Amino acid sequence: MKFYDNWAKGYDKAVKEGAKVNIKAGEFLVSLLDKFNLRKNIEILDLGAGTGILDEILVKHGYKRITLVDHSKGMLNKAKKKALLKGCKFVEADIRKLGLKKKYDVITSLFSFETSYFGEEDMPILFKILNKHLKKNGLFLTLGHFRFGEYTKHFKTLESGEYRLAEVKDKGTFWTDYFLGRKGS
Q: Does the 2-183 domain belong in CATH 3.40.50.720?
A: no
Q: How confident is the model at residue 139, as a pLDDT?
A: 83
Beta carbons of 168 and 135 less than 8 angstroms apart: no
How many C-beta atoms lie closer than 10 Å to residue 162's C-beta? 9
Q: How far is CA 86 from CA 13, 62, 69, 73, 151, in A?
A: 20, 14, 15, 17, 34
Domain ranges of the chain: 2-183
Q: What is the pLDDT, as a whole number, of residue 10?
A: 64
Single-letter amino acid, residue 131: N
Record the pTM.
0.78
Residue 1, pLDDT > 60, answer no
Q: What's the pLDDT score for residue 124?
A: 83
Residue 18 has what pLDDT?
A: 45
Which pLDDT score is estimated for 174?
A: 40
Per residue in 35-55, pLDDT (tens digit) is 777 777 899 999 999 899 889
Strand 65-70's sheet: what is its strand order? 89-92, 65-70, 43-47, 104-110, 134-144, 174-183, 159-170
Query: Cβ atoms within 10 A of the Cβ of 91, count?
Result: 15
* pLDDT at 45 (0 to 100): 97
pLDDT in tens, 90-146: 999 999 999 999 999 998 887 776 655 777 788 788 888 988 998 887 888 877 665
